[in-house]
Amino acid sequence: MSHHLRAGADEPLLRAIPPVLAAIRLGGLVPWSSVDYPGHQSAVLFCGGCPWRCGYCHNSHLWRGAADVPWPAVADFLRRRRGLLDAVVISGGEPLAQAQAVEAALRVIRDEGFATAMHTAGVAPRRLARLLPLLDWIGLDIKAPFARYAALTGSRRSGWAARAALDMVLASGVPCELRTTVHSALLPAADVIALVTELRDLGVARLVLKDFRGQGCADAGLVARHRPWLTPALAGRLRAVMPEIVLPACTEHAAAL
């Protein structure tokens, strides 16, 4: 990807870059995706940095703020994709770790006519509040029953932050998808049921459950400990609690949890 760009009056993306945007730390760019913002043809930008330390994270290389993709390269890419893409997704890492830079990026992206989406775990609710008006869609990661967050994230107040972020997203009216990654050793069946029940009681009608995948996980021991977990019986119990829940494929041979 070329970093040598030509600025001009007809190319707002390439005009003088504000310092806050020039300093954005991006660890990667996926040029096309049809799954990261459902129903849209999107590019995905991966922000570096995250204050939480979830052992099953598949992007742990971004935790400390990788900065492999400069903003001018992103601007050039988006200029060449006008009419081919309809959206840009900000993912991570955790975008809220760089909220000021992400806010500047979202404004530029919207000004250029792209829809905007963001993946977040809601680590900083006040920062999220500033970004919600700039988003057309949000994918919110819900990791566990809120009382169990600290055990998964390593952050004492993470459960409070996630609950506040969820309340904020639900109240905002911004279209969203709530999703949970299930690792059989970290989120046993009882916790999965408790989580789905807790979310239902908060007014959530739809949750996407995803099976842990080992690719990108830095903890080889955790990868080895994962077992099939979704039995037909458990699927039935979850659907009884939340009829619109989205489940991965189940197996008759899932390990007892």
pLDDT digits (tens, 9 = 90+) for 58-77: 999 899 887 899 999 999 99
- Judge whether 249 lies within some domain: no
Tokens linked to 218:
């830095």
- Judge whether 257 lies within some domain: no
pLDDT digits (tens, 9 = 90+) for 184-224: 999 999 999 999 999 999 999 999 999 999 999 999 999 99
- Judge whether 252 lies within some domain: no
Question: What is the domain extent for residue 48?
Answer: 12-241
Over the chain, what is the mean pLDDT? 91
What is the percent of the chain with per-residue pLDDT over 90, rounded to a whole number? 85
Task: pLDDT band for 252, please (50, 70, 90 cuts).
Answer: low
Residue with tokens 């601007």: 75
pLDDT digits (tens, 9 = 90+) for 2-44: 333 333 334 555 467 888 899 999 999 999 999 999 999 999 9
Number of domains in the chain: 1
- Judge whether 112 lies within some domain: yes
- Judge whether 207 lies within some domain: yes
- Judge whether 209 lies within some domain: yes
Side chain identity, residue 133: P
CA distance 128 to 107: 15
**218 contact partners, CB below 8 Å, separation of at least 6:** 57, 60, 61
- Judge whether 253 lies within some domain: no
Give the CATH number for residue 190.
Answer: 3.20.20.70
CA distance 139 to 57: 16
| 106 sits in which H/E element | helix 99-111
- Judge whether 162 lies within some domain: yes
